[in-house]
Amino acid sequence: MAESSHRRRLLIAIYFVALLAVTLAPIPGSTYAPALTDKLVHCLLFGGLALLLHWNLVHQSGIGRVCTATLLSVLAAGAIELLQGALPYRASDVWDLIAGAVGAVAGALTGHVAFRESIERGGRE
């Protein structure tokens, strides 16, 4: 169980470092993404984070697990938007935060549905 928990935390750490790299790295000025692609990326990134957090919160159950995973993911999305606003080569956008929050809710709820059976067995996934 301890090794499984360690692997889960390591996976979240790797995912979060990759998320930071994607959201805080300079974007070449010559490439333009199609409209709303940026929002979809934010939604997917923070949805993935919430799903991983939900999967890792084995000490909680039910709505507490969903709420904690969602809250942590939304806080991460907010912190990244603040950091982007402070960087000269990035821009902060409230719609990115909203897209991240929508993704966080969707990811946590997906985790709740996907892991429900194992949660009912005592958290052994």
Mean per-residue pLDDT over the chain, rounded: 88
Give CA–CA dist 109/115, Å, rounded: 10
Q: Domain ranges for the chain, please list them.
A: 2-120
Give CA–CA dist 72/103, Å, rounded: 12
Which single residue is written with the structure tokens 């994607």?
22
Cβ atoms of 70 and 105 closer than 8 Å:
yes
Q: What was the pLDDT predicted at 120?
A: 58
pTM score, whole prediction: 0.86
pLDDT tens, residue by residue, 27-70:
776 455 677 888 999 999 999 999 999 999 888 888 999 999 99
Tokens coding 56 = 């890792």
